[in-house]
Copies of this chain bind each other. A is one copy, B any other.
Amino acid sequence: MSKVEPYNSLWGHWMLRALQLADLAEGCTSPNPLVGAVVLDVNGKLVGEGLHSRAGMPHAEVLALAQAGEKAKEGTLVVTLEPCCHQGLTPPCTEAILKSGISRVVIALQDPDPRVAGGGVCRLRDAGLEVITGLLEEEASYQNRAFIFRVQNGRPWGILKWAMSLDGRVGLPNGESKWISGQKARGWVHRLRSKCDAIIVGSGTLRADDPLLTSRGISNPEPLRVVLTGSLDLPLNAQLWDTTRAKTVIAYGPNALPERFKQLPEGLEGIALRSTDPVELLNALAVKKCNRVLWECGPTLATAAIERGCVQELAIVMAPKLLGGDSAMTPLTDLGFASMNQVLLLNNASMQRLGEDWLLKVLLPKLKS
A interface residue numbers (CB < 8 A to B): 164-169, 172-174, 176-180, 303, 306, 314, 316, 320-328, 330-340, 343-347, 349, 351, 353, 358, 360, 362
- A325-B335 in contact (CB<8A): yes
Secondary structure class of chain A's binding surface, majority of residues: loop
A332-B330 Cα distance, complex, nearest whole Å: 11
Closest to A170 in B: B168
Q: How far is the CA of A340 from the CA of B163 in the complex (A)?
A: 14
Chain B residues within 8 Å of A167, by CB: 168, 330-332
Kindly report how many copies of this chain are found in the complex they form together. 2
Partner of A346, one of B306, B321, B326, B331: B321
- The verdict on A335 contacting B323 (CB below 8 Å), with A168-B169, A330-B168, A340-B178 known, is yes
Q: Are B166 and A360 touching (Cβ within 8 A)?
A: yes
* B320 & A324 in contact (Cβ 8 Å cutoff): no
A333 proximity list for chain B (CB < 8 A): 324
Asked whether, in the complex, the Cβ of B314 is within 8 Å of the Cβ of A166, the reply is yes
Choose from B326, B327, B340, B358 the contact partner of A179 (Cβ within 8 Å).
B340
Contact B345 A324 (CB under 8 A): no
Interface core residue of A168, A172, A327, A353 (most chain B CB under 10 Å): A168
B-chain residues with CB within 8 Å of residue A321 when the two chains form the complex: 343-346
Chain B contacts for A330, CB-based, 8 A: 167-169, 327, 330
User: How far does the alpha carbon of A335 sit from the alpha carbon of B338 in the complex, in Å?
Assistant: 28
> How long is the Cα–Cα vector from A345 to B339 in the complex, in angstroms?
34
A173 touches B339 (CB 8 A): no
How far is B326's CA from A174's CA once the two chains are assembled, in angstroms?
Answer: 18
Q: Which residues of B contact A339 (CB under 8 A)?
A: 172, 176
The answer to whether B340 touches A325, judged by C-beta atoms less than 8 angstroms apart, is no
Chain B residues in 8 Å Cβ range of A168: 164, 167-169, 330-331
Residues of B contacting A337 in the complex (Cβ-Cβ under 8 angstroms):
172-173, 323-325
**Cα distance A326–B325 in the bound complex, in angstroms:** 13
Q: Cβ of A358: which chain B residues have Cβ within 8 Å of it?
A: 351
CA distance A167 to B340 in the complex (A): 14
Q: How distant is the Cα of A178 from the Cα of B173 in the complex, in angstroms? A: 29
* Residue of B with least CB distance to A174: B338
CA distance A167 to B160 in the complex (A): 12
Residues of B within 8 A of A323 (CB): 335, 337, 343-344
- A337 to chain B minimum Cβ distance, whole angstroms, is 6
Known: A167-B330, A173-B334, A334-B173. A322 touches B340 (CB 8 A): no
A325: contacting residue among B173, B174, B334, B353, CB under 8 A: B334
Q: List 25 A-B residue pairs with CB atoms under 8 Å apart, sorted by A's residue number.
A: A165-B343, A166-B314, A166-B331, A166-B362, A167-B331, A168-B168, A176-B340, A178-B340, A179-B340, A320-B345, A320-B347, A320-B362, A321-B345, A322-B343, A322-B344, A322-B346, A323-B335, A323-B343, A323-B344, A324-B334, A324-B335, A326-B334, A327-B330, A330-B330, A351-B353
